[in-house]
Amino acid sequence: MAALVSFAIGSLALAGVAFARGNLSSTMGSLLAQPSWRLSGGVLGAVAICGSLLASPRLGSVNTVSLFIFGQFLAAMLIDQHGLAAAVPRPMTVMRTAGVLVIFSGVVLVLFGDKIAAALGRSP
């Protein structure tokens, strides 16, 4: 229900912006001409928000957000690498990969830092 309310309020706000900008008839015409995969973003966004709302009480907020952000970085790297969704292809360089690995290391510390510290004989 929280996601529904959030998306409804966001939709109303975006509708206000769209009406204020005008030119809705040409925009709606181009919307209907889009390939169906481009319209899947709304469904995927709703799934992501609902998933995070369901995961957060079980995993904790920091764990959920860190996993979510890492997933976004990983997906963005793959989208850039292959030029998906009309993106300009950008190769997965050593430095970009190292940056994502640093983010992954942060996720590991967020998720398992206390256990790692305990295994090393240190207090968390």
* 108/41 Cα distance (integer angstroms): 28
Residue 81 pLDDT more than 90?
A: yes
Quick one: average pLDDT of 86-100?
92
Please indicate, yes or no, whether the overall pTM of this predicted structure exceeds 0.75: no
Backbone angles phi, psi at 12, to 5 degrees: -65, -40
Quick one: average pLDDT of 65-71?
93
The tokens for 17 are 């912006």
Question: Which candidate, 7, 112, 13, places its Cα nearest to that of 53?
Answer: 7
6-15, 29-38, 53-62: lowest mean pLDDT where? 29-38
| pLDDT given for residue 48 in this prediction | 87
Helices (H) and strands (E) in the chain, counts: 5, 0
